Amino acid sequence: MDETLRILNLENERQRESLRSFLSRFSFTLDEVDFAVVLLDHGEIVASCCKQRNVLKFFAIDPLYQNQGLSQKLLTEVTYRMFEEGYDHSFVFTPLSNRGIFKSLGYDEVATSDEVVLLEKGPETIVEYIRRIDESYGLSDKENGAIVMNGNPFTLGHQYLIETAAKYVQQLLIFVVEEEASTFPFHDRFRMFQEGTKHLNNVILIPSGRYIISQATFPNYFLRDLQNSFAIYATLDVTIFGKWFKKLNITKRFVGEEPLDPMTNQYNETMKKILPDYGIELVVIPRVSNEQGIISASIVRRLLKEDKWDEAKKYVPSSTFEYLRNANEVIAELKKHDRKH
């Protein structure tokens, strides 16, 4: 084998296309990656490993070149790059057939779907994370309900869903999506939730961490493509919640009815199918409307982009509106471009 290790220039369309072509042989569709390393034999790609931040993806080796020690060479290069970028924890998203390879390298399994497995390696695994959350908030001594929310920004719709769900359970846990992939930064969104729920004494706000709707567990939530990978990621994300977050004595998960967004609706259907297997009931609450129609964060963002402040005010609590009036930098960024969530 004329073996050559190469770090690809992802800005070079020719190199990107060669990687895309190689991955297609494994039924992979190349999506967001910020680093890619390949092994070449006489100029042809025979093995690859990519990453997006601290998530390893697209690990693939041509069957003719397997069992030749190529895995370690690829993973050493990608792991070193992550270390250079300051990551001490990593995920691997890979087909089930590769599970043994990564377990032999010290990775722990987080969850599997029919086709893929998510593994992790680092100082705090999901076992320690769940234990820490439980101890920090004292969750396991009560029956808990849960909602996962982004709040980009926090609207009257979010507030209504929380107020309604809080009536059904002793304690309601709101996992605020921590991933920084939204227009409004996490610390601002979390503050909006705090202000918008402070009148409810059985609500606990918790940063979602790396295991709920993150770039590791659910990148398509932020990419919003319609490819088959969405269903795979959704299944994995919901399975993680059922398998691990059930340990926080969560018996109900609440969602808002989703008449507008087909992706979110598909995610809700996935929850409806999977969560009961883990003893978690999915409760769907009808969306609240105002005189203008259904309330949604995307409508608020559109109105803000158009400087329709009086209209936007009708969709958000007064605490959110006060924040928005002082969020000049974020609003300016919003007007440049918008994100789906």
Domain ranges of the chain: 3-89, 130-336
Residue 182 burial (CB count, 10 A) = 21
Residue 136 burial (CB count, 10 A) = 9
Q: 232 exposed, middle or buried (CB, 10 Å; 0-12, 13-18, 19+)?
A: middle
Q: Residue 222: is its pLDDT beyond 60?
A: no
- pLDDT tens by residue, 257-294: 876 778 888 889 999 999 999 999 999 999 887 777 78
**Mean pLDDT on 186-206:** 97
Superfamily designation of domain 3-89: Gcn5-related N-acetyltransferase (GNAT) (3.40.630.30)
CA distance 140 to 128: 15
- pLDDT tens by residue, 3-44: 799 999 999 999 999 999 999 998 888 888 999 999 999 999
CA distance 322 to 213: 28
**Nearest-5° Cα angle at 24, 107 to 49:** 30
DSSP code at position 287: P
Q: Which pLDDT band, with edges at 50, 70 and 90, does 221 fall under? A: very low
CA distance 305 to 309: 9
Do residues 247 and 126 lie in contact, with contact meaning Cβ atoms separated by under 8 Å? no
pLDDT of residue 218: 54
Do residues 171 and 142 lie in contact, with contact meaning Cβ atoms separated by under 8 Å? yes
Listed in sequence order, the residues at least 6 apart from 263 whose beta carbon sits closer than 8 Å to its beta carbon are: 220, 221, 224, 226, 230
Q: Which pLDDT band, with edges at 50, 70 and 90, does 223 fall under? A: very low
CATH T-level topology, domain 130-336: Rossmann fold (3.40.50)
DSSP code at position 260: S
In the chain, count H helices and then E strands. 13, 14
Q: When comparing pLDDT for 135 and 223, which is higher? A: 135
pLDDT of residue 138: 87
- pLDDT tens by residue, 63-112: 999 888 899 899 999 999 999 999 999 999 888 888 998 999 899 999 99
